[in-house]
Amino acid sequence: MKFYVTTPIYYVNDAPHIGHAYTTILADVLSRYHRTVGDNVFFLTGLDEHGQKVKQAAEKRGMTPQAHCDDLAPRFTNLWTKLDIRYDDFVRTTQERHTKIVQACLQKVYDSGDIYADEYEGWYSVAEERFITDTEYESGQFRDVKKLKEKNYFFKMSKYQEQLINHIQANPGFIQPEHRKNEILGFLRQPLGDLCISRPKSRMDWGIEIPFDRDYVTYVWFDALINYISIPGYLSDDTKFKTWWPADVHLIGKDILTTHCVYWTTMLFALGLPQPKTIFAHGWWLLGDSKMSKSLGNVVNPLDLIEQYGVDGVRYFLMREMVLGQDANFTTDSFIKSFNSDLANDYGNLLNRVSGLIAKNHGGVVPNPGTATDAEKDIEQKANALPAQIKELIAQYKVQEAVVAVIEFVRVLNKYVEVQAPWKLAKTDLPAAERVLYTAAEGLRMATIMLAPVMPYKTAVVLDVLGAKETKPVWGQIKPGTVLQSHPPLFPRIDVEKK
Ligand code: MSP
């Protein structure tokens, strides 16, 4: 099986915050999961580098737009390295491998008659550098407004309205979650207009030149969306393209739902290409009541969090906290609570108990499982059911539920150890103590494999301690006699008093 996953390509001007980090970690978790079950994965992310804002920002710094982009791009790539993101390719829309395919797509759609030139007359705000609507004009809130008549190129989006509605209705998993699908179907109840896809160079020249009219560049979305096909080889490498397209999932935030579900899908129809299997829109990370965004100045910098709490804690929290499709609120309080409860008290503590007791009472060597009683059979059965349960949840993009399911299992294991009290059994019934510790270690190993896509670093430490690096998620893989490695506490509790 193959799995092709994309994130939005982020505007190069923005400093990445946890909203951007969230989508990218989510894509990474899904990719890692699919790799562990043996799928062939292609994970694409990157940067959106054209447009007015980039041009202005570069001018302010006295740089060329390209030099400005080159200077800013490492802010993203460095963060992805720190967050342990393993993408397979990183696109920058100024790369020739992308620009030439955008031009080829424009030519193709133009030749088939779906792009036409038209004069557009409307109110143009010089300050905003865009056409404003009549309502906006009447609001009187815009300065330097003039009537402007301008030739532009339009994409016949309206032509594909029926086809799009039919596609959405015939493919229930196409737009997820369900309420986003309904939002798009509601939007499509109104007649769909055509999409202006050009800007005259005289007004804005930082973009990809339109091949059939050198006085124009293409509008950012027609440029940016094409990255999803230009990078896996559309019109340049047939074998590669056939391997990956259609994408299995475009992960996006709900802010860019229409551009993906309407602009992109109709562009694909015009190019005669199959649709992605799923477009999944997650909610927003909020700080207080508003969306975290640079313009509001209410962003949480992921680098600060990583520095304070470690990369695995950050990845865990973001995946554990946001129910996919809904908004989530970021507070330091909830971060610390989830860290201390799930990671320090439950997961970290289970490792401490297992390795500590085995070191103290069993010479640091994994004991024999002996003969299972009902209690062990119950744990074994729960552990063996876990991989299928996680598979099902991941297939439905229920990552939060999947993480919770594993942590619940860790709690079951802790409870089992408490009830069995192997530290007491060691004095009265050694084989029973051995049985309990073997079972707890093996359960911990299974849970760890299931958590590995979320916390690649710490789970590797645990598997190392257990001498179980290359093992599979089926019961009974730890070999009795394995010498356990010593380790520092996995997730030391965050001391709230000190914060
Ligand atoms: N460049 C366009 C996307 C082009 S895709 C072909 C763009 N870039 S962006 O830098 O604004 O990034 C938008 C994406 O960042 C969102 O769709 C979402 O994935 C992520 N997030 C940015 N802020 C966010 C939150 N506060 N919360 C969650 N995710 C958000 O739009």
pLDDT (tens digit per residue) in 53-82: 899 999 999 999 999 999 999 999 999 999
pLDDT (tens digit per residue) in 6-32: 999 999 998 899 999 999 999 999 999
Among residues 256, 232, 230, the alpha carbon closest in space to that of 23 is found at 256
Distance (Å) of CA 347 to CA 62, 183, 451, 458: 51, 40, 10, 11
Contact 469, 459 (CB under 8 A): no
Q: What percent of the chain has pLDDT over 90?
A: 86
Return all residues near 152 (Cβ < 8 A) that are at least 6 apart. 117, 118, 120, 196, 197, 198, 199, 200, 216
Q: Whose CA is nearest to atom 9 of ligand 1?
A: 10
Using a cut of 0.85, tell me whether the model's pTM lies above it. Answer: yes
pLDDT (tens digit per residue) in 264-314: 999 999 999 999 999 999 999 998 778 887 777 777 888 889 999 999 999
Task: Report residues whose beta carbon is within 6 angstroms of any ligand 1 atom.
Answer: 8-11, 14, 19-20, 22-23, 48, 224-225, 252-253, 255-256, 284-285, 291-293
Distance from the alpha carbon of residue 13 to the mean position of ligand 1, in angstroms? 12
pLDDT (tens digit per residue) in 454-471: 999 999 999 999 999 999
Q: Whose CA is nearest to atom 25 of ligand 1?
A: 19
pLDDT (tens digit per residue) in 123-176: 988 777 778 888 889 888 888 898 989 999 999 999 999 999 999 999 999 999
Distance from the alpha carbon of residue 251 to the mean position of ligand 1, in angstroms? 10
DSSP-derived letter for residue 86 is: -
Question: What's the pLDDT score for residue 382?
Answer: 98
Determine the atom of ligand 1 nearest the C-alpha atom of 23: 19
Q: Pairing state of beta strands 40-48 and 2-6?
A: parallel
The length of the chain is 499
Distance from the alpha carbon of residue 253 to the mean position of ligand 1, in angstroms? 6
Determine the atom of ligand 1 nearest the C-alpha atom of 251: 19
Distance from the alpha carbon of residue 247 to the mean position of ligand 1, in angstroms? 19
Here the tokens at position 370 are 């002996």
- Residue that has been written with the tokens 């029926």 in this structure: 162
Q: Whose CA is nearest to atom 10 of ligand 1?
A: 10
Question: What's the pLDDT score for residue 141?
Answer: 85
Q: What are phi and psi for residue 38, nearest 5 degrees?
A: 95, 5
Q: Whose CA is nearest to atom 7 of ligand 1?
A: 10
Return all residues near 482 (Cβ < 8 A) that are at least 6 apart. 365, 366, 466, 467, 468
Strand boundaries in 264-388, DSSP class E? 278-282, 285-287, 290-291, 328-329
Band (pLDDT 50/70/90 cuts) for residue 498 is low
Determine the atom of ligand 1 nearest the C-alpha atom of 283: 28
Determine the atom of ligand 1 nearest the C-alpha atom of 285: 27
Q: Which of 136-140, 259-263, 398-402, 470-474 has the lowest mean pLDDT?
A: 136-140
Compute the mean pLDDT over every residue in the chain, rounded to the nearest whole number: 95
Q: Whose CA is nearest to atom 30 of ligand 1?
A: 19
Could you tell me the sign of the dihedral formed by the alpha carbons of 454, 457, 458, 464, in that order?
Answer: positive
Q: Whose CA is nearest to atom 29 of ligand 1?
A: 19
Contact 159, 151 (CB under 8 A): no
Determine the atom of ligand 1 nearest the C-alpha atom of 284: 27
Distance from the alpha carbon of residue 458 to the mean position of ligand 1, in angstroms? 28
